A and B are shown apart, each in its own frame.
Chain A
Amino acid sequence: MIWHIFKKDVRLLWPMVAAAALIEWLYTFTNYHNDHTVSSPWRMDTLLMVAQILASTLLVVSVVQLDALPGVRQDWLIRPIRRRDLLLAKLFFVLVMVQGPIFAADVAAALADGFPAGQALSTALLRNISYFTFFLAPTLAFASITRGLTETIVAVVAAAVGFMALVQMINIQFPWHWRVVGTNDVFWVVESCVLAILATGVAAVLMVQYFMRRTTAARWMTASVSLLLVVFNFMPWQPVFAIQQRLSRDPGAASAVRLEFQPSLGRYREPSGTRTFYQRHNREEGIIIHVPIAVSGLPADSILRTDLMAARITGPDGKPADLGFGNARLAWSEGSPVPGDRPDYPLYVGAAAFARYRDQVSRLEIEYSLTLLRLSDTRAMQAIDGQLAMPELGRCQTNVNRSGTAVHVDCLQAGTTPPCMTFTLENAASGGRNPPVVHCEGDYDPFFMQLLPDALKRLNIQVFFRDPADRFHLPVDGPQLGESRVVTRFYRPEAHFTRHVVIPNFRLSDWLPL
């Protein structure tokens, strides 16, 4: 009877199905157009993305509420319809009529971009699994505990307000947390936990509603799962990084890496004319200090990333206190340091803590959570109008920007991308080599997990060859571009590990940037 119920739902909802599919395909076409047009990208993509999400939501809610579960007036309640069949029919509808066009559009987009059928299918499948688990299935479960569209909208708005209030409360309580875990490359661990809780919660709510029709219990369950999701979004750093550590490819690879306090490095000097984000926007929230740390024992061709530094200070009174955190995504690559760059990272110290310990000689302990990445592959492509298909980054092309100061590297990948890579302009004839552009923004996630905008990952990098203000000159400059290449080096995470640095006599005011 699943097919029979499905047909009835299609008969009732086909105009909505057609509209949602049309929006999805328009959205996909817009993305494709924007990916392949530099001059005049359509600016409809955000609007269409919102419309597509709304259309999917509306469709899922509508199909569930054709045979609504709460209430006492629905005709299906007194019909010999198996609850299991009803649930499966609704799931089937969501998969075929809601998810189907999205999946087809994802596959078509990947194929149109030149990816092989297997890669296009697998990437679209993985993206659609994420989309279903994170979005469509929870929407389905939510719709099953509400009576009608109005009730659903009111409930969604109430839930969103409640969620934001809760997040705000937690943010006030733990002001640094989101910046520490939420924006970190290990956040996939949190996302995976959230995904598991969400999937379990959705299954439980659907079971309770469809097989027992206990709306009040299902609503409480939904509220509990939502609360749990918020709490898990604020998972403490230690267990998150511990899980990441256990997943290290080669835990021993970082055994020789040492971090030491090196006062001789001197105070950090900010590049002239620039101020950091936090100084610009959150002056009242904290002060930035730079602790000079020397790194040794790095293997050749490697990058060391500081995923987090957590500082603890013990003042003359002997009482230890949390001082602050740092999780700047700066990378330090041995053998190819960026001029002027140095391996120390900003530590954000709360205003109150800074005021208290500013001039006190204290004991500072810093716990570093680090990731060692090793060179895994190198690719090169022409600096001007180059085109290359790379397994790591997909289909890439290069061109010079309008102001004639940088080479644009634009890539489109169906699947995962490495978490770290460097882009270097090199001229084989002259032997010239510009400082690398380090790009470390990927996650350490072992699987492809992407909700929006589609199944493709986009990378846009600018590799400068000329200072716009003409303050300095680089070895590979404009005239050499024709015979130059952009060399891309990919780095793979080998080991996630921690190091503990203790500085017995430390005064915060000594290490303010110049």
Chain B
Amino acid sequence: MIEASNLWKKFGRHDALRGLSFTVPEGSAFALIGANGAGKTTTIKILMNIIAATRGTAKVLNVDSRHMSTQELARIGYVSENQDMPAGLTVDQYLNYLRPFYPAWDRDLEMTTRRDLRLPPERKIRDLSHGMRMKMSLACALPFRPTLLVLDEPFSGLDPLVRDEFMEGLLRQASEMTVLISSHELSEIDGIATHVGFLDEGKLLFEESMSDLTERFREVHVTLEREAHAPDQVPKEWLHVRVMGNVLAFVDTRFKEEKLGERIGSVLKGVRRVDTQTMGLRSIFTTLARATRDAAV
């Protein structure tokens, strides 16, 4: 559905993207995660042909993103917090305006989405709150049943109630399309994403399926017979190593249950007990982000 190949983007002297490559499989929900300034929005803008890459190519719906025609754009829904809709039009007027541009626009779906998102039809876009605008943006992206839905920081600044409404609107159709989402709200993504790409300073550190990712990350607590000390040689797959009394805790990024005991035994002596815990996307992200930051320091 999306294939980015060696994307580079320079803003002045700053490299916002540095050879980014990734693939979004058809039917997947691909979450692009990373710290502020990692290049998520830049990547999405290149994919949407809003800005041009300095180098590299991207294919969206099997077409070079620089040459996307109205036919391709009519199959892509785009929701972003940085989206300026015509402020002087009302919700109704803008939906009426957009309708003819999309051959697949479904009036019933539009009505359902509007009702569920509780958008005031006569209110001007300029008078909508931030949350309402995000819902408006979603209401403009769903009624034509897009093949690809691109969401750029869709949850940013939304209160929990609006976020729930937004999510409900999104989830209703998520199974029918491929979704590319960039967000800091990892707890929300956790429920949607099937694939994850981790972006750091314009580089993709990894991309893999959500199941593989949660499978290989474990929070490990090793209880020792006496007071614990951080080992001199920490295995590189162990991140965020800390000592709490006689407990040594770390995140294992290459977790395999059958080999964990042996690996711990080779590093630590006097192991009394080993506890493992699955990790959510948020914990994985913060562990990786911290590790990257520490490595940079």
Report which A residues bind B (CB closer than 8 A): 1, 4, 8, 11-12, 66, 72-75, 77-82
Select one of B45, B51, B71, B97 contacting A4, CB under 8 A: B97
With A1-B101, A80-B70, A82-B70 known as contacts, the answer to whether A75 contacts B85 (CB < 8 A) is yes
Q: Within 8 Å CB of B233, what residues of A?
A: none
Contact partner of A78 (CB less than 8 A), chosen from B48, B51, B100, is: B48
Given contacts A12-B88, A66-B86, A78 and B71 within 8 Å (CB-CB): no
Q: Are A72 and B82 in contact (CB under 8 A)?
A: yes
B73-81, B178-186, B198-206 - interface stretch: B73-81
Judge whether B278 is part of the interface by a CB distance below 8 angstroms. no
Taking CB atoms, residues of chain B closer than 8 Å to A73 are 82-84
Asked if B93 CB lies within 8 Å of chain A CBs, one says yes
Is B224's beta carbon under 8 Å from chain A? no
Interface residue B102 (Cβ < 8 Å from any Cβ of A): yes
Using known A-B contacts A8-B86, A72-B45, A72-B50, determine if residue A78 contacts B78 with beta carbons closer than 8 Å: yes
* Residue B89 is within 8 A (CB to CB) of chain A in the complex: yes
Nearest CB of chain B from residue A51's CB, rounded to whole Å: 23
Shortest A210–chain B CB gap in Å is 14
Q: State A75–B136 Cα separation when bound (angstroms).
A: 12
Roughly how many angstroms separate A66 CA and B51 CA in the complex, as a whole number? 19
User: Taking the complex as formed, is B243 at the interface, i.e. its CB lies under 8 A from any CB of chain A?
Assistant: no
- What is the CA–CA distance of A12 and B126 in the complex, to the nearest angstrom? 12
- A79's partner among B71, B73, B82 (CB-CB below 8 A) is B73
Is B101 touching A12 in the complex (CB atoms < 8 A)?
A: no
List the 6 closest A-B pairs by CB distance, nearest first.
A80-B70, A80-B74, A80-B73, A78-B78, A73-B84, A12-B88
Chain B neighbourhood of A1, CB < 8 A? 100-101
CA distance A77 to B78 in the complex (A): 10
Indicate whether A11 sits within 8 Å of B98 (C-beta atoms), given known contacts A72-B45, A72-B51, A77-B50: no
Are B84 and A75 within 8 A (Cβ)? yes
B76 with A78: CB separation less than 8 A: yes
Chain A neighbourhood of B93, CB < 8 A: 8, 11
Report the bound CA distance from A82 to B101 in whole Å.
Answer: 10
With A72-B50, A78-B48 already in contact, the answer to whether A11 and B89 are too (CB < 8 A) is yes
Task: Report chain B residues within 8 Å CB of A72.
Answer: 45, 50-51, 82
Q: How many A-B residue pairs have CB under 8 A?
A: 49
- A78 pairs with B50, CB closer than 8 A: yes
Q: Hey, which chain A residues are within 8 Å of B98, CB to CB?
A: 79
Residues in A whose Cβ lies below 8 Å from that of B102: 80
Are B73 and A8 touching (Cβ within 8 A)? no
Q: A8-B86, A8-B89, A12-B86 are in contact. Are A81 and B45 (CB under 8 A)?
A: no
Complex: how many Å from CA A73 to CA B50?
9
Q: How many chain B residues touch the partner (CB < 8 A)?
A: 25
A75 touches B83 (CB 8 A): yes
A-chain residues with CB within 8 Å of residue B78 when the two chains form the complex: 78
Chain B residues with Cβ below 8 Å from A80 are 70-71, 73-74, 101-102
- Which residues of chain A are near B97, meaning CB under 8 Å? 4, 8
Q: How far is the CB of A461 from chain B (nearest CB, A)?
A: 52
Q: How far is the CB of B110 from chain A (nearest CB, A)?
A: 15
CA of A75 to CA of B86, assembled, Å: 8
Closest A residue to B96 using CB positions: A8
Give the residues in chain A near B86, CB-CB below 8 Å: 8, 12, 66, 75
Min CB distance, B33 to chain A, in Å?
Answer: 21
What residues on A are CB-neighbors of B83 within 8 Å?
Answer: 73, 75, 78
The residue on B at minimum CB distance from A8 is B97
Interface string of B109-120 (1 = CB under 8 A from A): 000000000000
A–B pairs, 18, beta carbons within 8 Å? A1-B100, A4-B100, A8-B93, A11-B89, A12-B89, A66-B86, A72-B45, A73-B84, A75-B84, A75-B140, A77-B48, A77-B49, A77-B50, A78-B73, A78-B83, A79-B73, A80-B70, A80-B101
Query: Can you list, as one digit per residue, whether each of B150-164 has a CB less than 8 Å from chain A (1) or not (0)?
Result: 000000000000000
- Most interface-central of A4, A74, A78, A81 (chain B CB within 10 A): A78
Chain A residues within an 8 Å CB radius of B76: 78
Contacting residues, chain A, for B51 (C-beta < 8 A): 72
Shortest beta-carbon distance, A215 to chain B, in Å? Answer: 11
- Please give the distance in Å from A222's CB to the nearest CB on chain B: 20
Q: Which residues of chain A are within 8 angstroms of B74 by Cβ–Cβ distance?
A: 80
A399 vs B248: C-alpha distance when bound (angstroms): 110
Closest to A71 in B: B84
- Per-position 1/0 for B191-202, Cβ under 8 A of A: 000000000000
B94: min CB distance to chain A, Å = 9
Task: Provide the residues of chain B in CB contact with A4, threshold 8 Å.
Answer: 97, 100
CB closest residue in chain A, given B82: A73
Closest Cβ of chain B to A194, distance in Å, is 34
Q: How far apart sit A1 and B74, CA to CA, in the bound complex (Å)?
A: 14
Known: A78-B73, A78-B76, A80-B70. 18 other contacts (CB 8 A): A1-B101, A8-B86, A8-B93, A11-B88, A11-B89, A12-B86, A72-B45, A72-B50, A72-B82, A73-B83, A75-B140, A77-B48, A77-B49, A77-B50, A78-B48, A79-B73, A80-B74, A80-B101
What separation, in Å, do the CA atoms of A304 and B98 have in the docked complex? Answer: 66
**With a CB–CB cut-off of 8 A, which chain A residues contact B85?**
75
In this complex, the member of B71, B74, B86 whose beta carbon has the largest number of chain A beta carbons within 10 angstroms is B86
- In the bound assembly, the distance between CA atoms of A80 and B76 in angstroms comes to 9
Name the CB-closest residue of B to A85. Answer: B70
With both beta carbons as reference points, the residue of chain A lying nearest to B83 in the complex is identified as A75
Enumerate chain A residues within 8 angstroms of B71, measured Cβ to Cβ.
Answer: 80
Shortest Cβ distance from A81 into B: residue:
B101
Which residue of B is nearest A77, CB measured?
Answer: B50
B101 touching A79 by the CB < 8 A rule? yes
A349 to chain B, nearest CB (A): 55
Question: A78: which B residues are within 8 A, CB to CB?
Answer: 48, 50, 73, 76, 78, 83
Q: Which residue of B lies closest to A9 (CB)?
A: B86
Q: How far is the CB of A450 from chain B (nearest CB, A)?
A: 36
A4, A79, A82 — most chain B CB neighbours (10 Å): A79
Give CA–CA (A4, B97) in the complex, Å.
7
Once A1-B101, A4-B100 are accepted as A-B contacts, the answer to whether A81 and B84 lie under 8 Å apart by CB is: no
**In the complex, what residues of A have CB within 8 A of residue B88's CB?**
11-12
| Nearest CB of B to A68, in Å | 9
Interface string of B48-70 (1 = CB under 8 A from A): 11110000000000000000001
Return chain A residues, CB-CB under 8 Å to B89.
8, 11-12
Kindly provide the distance from the CB of A299 to the nearest chain B CB, expressed in whole angstroms: 67
Closest A residue, CB atoms, query B74: A80
Bound CA–CA A79/B69 (angstroms): 10
> In the complex, what's the smallest C-beta–C-beta distance from A208 to chain B, in angstroms?
14
A74 and B84 form a contact (CB under 8 A): yes
Give the chain A neighbours of B49 by CB distance below 8 A: 77
Complex Cα gap A74–B50 (Å): 9
CA distance A8 to B83 in the complex (A): 18
Task: Report the Cα distance A11→B89, complex, angstroms.
Answer: 8
Query: Once the chains are docked, how many angstroms separate the CA of A80 from the CA of B100?
Result: 10
Q: Give min CB distance, A216 to chain B, whole Å.
A: 11
* Interfacial chain B residues near A66, Cβ < 8 Å: 86
Nearest CB to that of B45 among chain A residues? A72
Q: Which residue of B has the minimal Cβ distance to A83?
A: B70
Interchain CA distance A48-B89 in the complex, whole Å: 31
CA distance A66 to B45 in the complex (A): 20
